Amino acid sequence: MNYRHIYHAGNFADCLKHIILTRILAYLQKKDKACFVLDTHAGIGEYDMSSEEAQKTGEWQEGIARLRGTDKRFPPLVSECLSDYLRIIDELNPDGEMALYPGSPRLIEQMLRPVDRATFIEKHPQDAETLTITMGRNRQIHVREDDGWVALRADLPPKERRGMVLVDPPFEEPDEYIRMVDAFLKGYRRWSTGIYCLWYPIKARRDVDDAAQMLAESGVDNILRAEMIIHKLDTAKRLNGTGLFIINPPYTLHDELKALLPVLADIFGQTAHRSTLEWIAPPK
């Protein structure tokens, strides 16, 4: 594995993924019952924006820096969607400078209630060790060096019966889109009531559409597709956009994303400013 997320931490794709993550967690916590969160490709949990790697690409400057620096007045629903995400980032950076960016484990950890539980899976040994140190001693959190695809079978269903799964692979292999759908379906057969977020990059349109077709034909219902395009789709050599397949989304999420996605596309857009929200398989 050659992928290191530090080069991309805080970019526009992270922003969309992590905002949606916090919205789902906020929804789950509206009920008193405990919930479980599985993060299958967790990374190191927290990223230093002053590091050589982050500075080399500067992707965060076109992502979280743009979002935090915008002077736009957001509609109330958009502000609500951003509230937990931006609050956690501000708490990590009390002097206002963008020193640390929270990966999904840090965001999850910050939103867990005492009754909740999370498992973070990281395959890379060094990153798993770093994540363990970053999370510290917390009985609610279990960090394991393992294959995230295996965890979709081994860690499901959880005893809590309520919760979500975040699937965020590095997409190093050409068949990763299909592999993600296949692994999700195996996990879904074990826990069909969980909320699943399957993140993907958009470089070439065909790979994404093939994965969407697989999901549409899988027999699983209640699948929402949310996308944001910031570059024209005229080359597959760059990250042109990002999206998530969300299975069993909270009933509030569709309207939230309907308001949020165009605003984010406008903030992050460069040679394109476009968003898509559609039901691949509508709820029954």
Active site residues: 168
3-state secondary structure of 278: strand
d(CA 244, CA 168): 10
> What does the DSSP 8-state code read for residue 252?
T
Q: Read out DSSP for 130-186?
A: HHHHHH-S-TTEEEEES-HHHHHHHT-S-TT--EEEEE-----STTHHHHHHHHHHH
- 15-44 in b/e form (b: 16+ CB < 10 A) is bbbbbbbbbbbbbbbeeeebbbbbbbbbbb
Structure-token pair, residue 212: 């969407």
Exposed / middle / buried, residue 178 (Cβ in 10 Å: 0-12, 13-18, 19+): middle
Q: Which residues is 26 bridged to in the sheet? A: none
CA 59 to chain centre: 17
d(CA 158, CA 37): 9
Structure-token pair, residue 181: 């759908």
d(CA 162, CA 165): 10
Q: For residue 29, which of 89, 107, 116 has the smallest C-alpha distance? A: 116
Q: Read out DSSP for 38-97?
A: EESS-TTSEEETTSHHHHHH-GGGGTHHHHHH------HHHHHHHHHHHHHHHHH-TTSS
